[in-house]
Chains A and B, each alone.
Chain A
Amino acid sequence: MVTQYSMKRGWTEFLEANKKAILERWLDCALALFPEKMGYSTPIGTVFSGALEKILSSLGKRENDCKEALDDVTRILAVQNFPPSKALSIFLEPKLILHDIMMKTTVADTLMQEAFNSRLDALTLEAFDSYMRHREKIYQLKVEEGSRRMYMALRRAEA
């Protein structure tokens, strides 16, 4: 218990201390997914920047409270021209970023890194669920649009 407590505490502090650096690089990677790197002040840049920050903060907490932020990101990714594998790769990116930072700044803490990686893996799978929900929504919209367009015809047919 004592070990776990100190690990958690060390982890939160580490994340807090390096949040800005991680976020900067992570956001850069995410925006570079687009054919022409997306600008920070564009609508997508703004949404990504807010959402990635929330996701990163939630990684330091016991409770996962980043569902909405995750949805905001995957909702954008799910309608882009690149495949799901490329879209969701942004959730694996922090592993590399964290590795680099650890190599440079602190003594490498494998336990902490493993914990971080497993949180990210879980997050990536959640992102996959969310991505799929948005894809399904697209198909649902197509069906709904068809009936709205034929509203009066359908109404007469049902009467």
Chain B
Amino acid sequence: MSKYAPKLSELKKEFDEKPSVLKGDYSAQEWWDRPVEFRDGNWCFPGKQEVLADLGFANPRKWAATDEDWQLPADWQKTISEGLQSRLKKYRSLKLFLDSCVRCGACADKCHFFLGTGDPKNMPVLRAELLRSVYRNDFPLVEKILKGFSGSRKLTKAVIKEWHMYFNQCTECRRCSVFCPFGIDTAEITMLVRELLNLIGVNNNWILAPVSNCNRTGNHLGIEPHTFVQNINSLVEDIGDLTGVEVEPTFNRKGAEVLFITPSGDVFGDPGVYTMMGYLLLFHHIGLDYTISTYASEGGNFGMFTSNDMMKKLNAKMYHEAKRLGVKWLLGGECGHMWRVVHQYMNTMNGPADFLEVPVSPITGTRFSNAAATKMVHIAEFTADLIHHKKLKLDPKRNDHLRTTFHDSCNVARGMGMFEEPRSILRNVCNSFHEMAEDTIREKTFCCGSGSGLNAEEYMDIRMRGGFPRANAVKQVKDRHKVNSLVTICAIDRASLPPLMNYWNPGVSVYGLHELVGNALVMQGEKKRTTDLRENTMAGFEDGGDDDE
């Protein structure tokens, strides 16, 4: 043996004394011995009975995570066990993810929830272990081979509580997966466990209510078609007041070239509506032949946080509508997880969308062959291409009151590898853009802390903890470059980053990328513009006389 090899006694000493990923500072205890404690602020309200009934989901009842007895169905263990087995057969990826982890710990300190809480069960490796330990126990062969070493445990009610606690402290952002040498997709483990929990009625109303609304009326808030149209029309009026230009969106128009679908947050929420105004100005500027559907009135897909079948169903309605209206292709707005669903799952769930054409920009002629299967183009790609071909008349000075930084949305960045397009747009529509630290952007971007259906109000404490690494990176550019605007391309970001900034970095506002595009667009026939789309005064345009145009 090599003289450099450590002695057995040294190894034993190191193992006994050194805190490790799985031991933490609790070397006397097994990690699963530490019970979870639910109290106000650390759990999301469960799905309402009527919501579950609407969806035909299991075990509708009145309960709370703080209850001792969660009123699980009598055969809950069998349901979970069989549910896991059937999914292991269906998804080879899941089996690989469960079997191949060597607990190297590379993911441990990459999770924003671990970095914000210091809770060892928020290390992705340990979070997945919450499922793996049960998987090993349920599958005798694995237990037999790895006897005494496998760390298996029985499926008890305490395990269900632990799953509910920790698989709802994962936003499915996949930052950990970037660092995993095996490429284990921990987000898919979270998706799977949430799916299993839904089988026995352990759930989250903030996810299920939008799913039910979307399933019935087509969007998360359950806005019915006439209200949906009214909302957009009042934004059209605002655009008229601010710019003097009358944009003319159409609804459910058959034979349009393009069907535009965006998260419904852009139609009813602040600051999403300003992004919507940006889209409408852009489409008017280039004369796009597009229509908006009041049926497929939601880009988001909370089915992804519920079950594979529900994700498939909600995704399908966009394509049904495209078929019904006879459009050529789909253009998608600024959304996060919608793009993970479209880019990574749509083609095998509902695709290929053969009845549509491979998208070609009618303005530049660019063929988006990257969307050949899904026929759906991301608006940032579309606009970046327009700018690249100099098809837009832009005055970036109109955004001089904003000193920006860019937050890569997890699902667009890591889910579809889009990094440069939004940056290219941003550089063309504003004069002040400062990147955050290198290890907090692009594929290493930190989540907003509220993704995957966790931005419930009652969950604010945990959201602030989980969002801290992102907020801290923004603070650095705020201190260094006086950044006052955080630009993003995701509707959940636009909803969840304002409170995050308000708490950690007061003075930083949140903008959608196309809101800045809307500010900068020089429209034909426009009046002198002195304010931006939020009616904030634009620097250098106060008198209305400084515009080049």
Contacts and interface: CB of A to CB of B under 8 A. Distances in A.
B207 interface: no
B425 interface: no
A44 B468 contact: yes
> Which of A36, A37, A150 is packed against the most chain B CB atoms within 10 Å?
A36
A56 B117 CA distance: 25
A25 B499 CA distance: 34
Chief secondary structure at chain A's binding surface = helix
A20 to B, nearest CB: 24
A75 B461 CA distance: 11
Nearest to A33: B118
Contacts of A149: 265, 268-269, 495
Contacts of A34: 117-119
A133 to B, nearest CB: 11
A156 B228 CA distance: 12
A35 B231 CA distance: 47
Given A75-B504, A79-B465, A141-B502, A39 B270 contact: no
A138 B115 contact: no
B478 to A, nearest CB: 13
B472 interface: yes
Nearest to B464: A79
Q: Which interface class (under 10, 10 to 19, 20 to 34, 35 or more) fits A?
A: 20 to 34
A43 to B, nearest CB: 4
Nearest to A76: B468
Given A79-B461, A80-B117, A148 B504 contact: no
Interface string A140-159: 01101110111111011000
Contact of A36 (B120, B230, B503): B120
A33 B119 CA distance: 11
A29 interface: no
Q: In the complex, which range does the number of interface residues on chain B fall in?
A: 35 or more
Contact of A138 (B120, B267, B503): B503
A37 B117 CA distance: 10
Contacts of A98: none
A120 to B, nearest CB: 25
A47 interface: yes
B151 interface: no
A7 B24 CA distance: 44
A137 interface: yes
Given A36-B118, A46-B472, 5 more contacts: A35-B118, A35-B120, A36-B19, A37-B118, A75-B504
Interface of B: 19, 24-25, 42, 109, 114-120, 123, 230-231, 234, 265, 267-271, 273, 457-458, 460-462, 464-465, 468-469, 472-473, 495, 498-499, 502-504
8 contacts: A35-B24, A43-B469, A81-B117, A138-B460, A144-B499, A151-B269, A152-B231, A156-B230
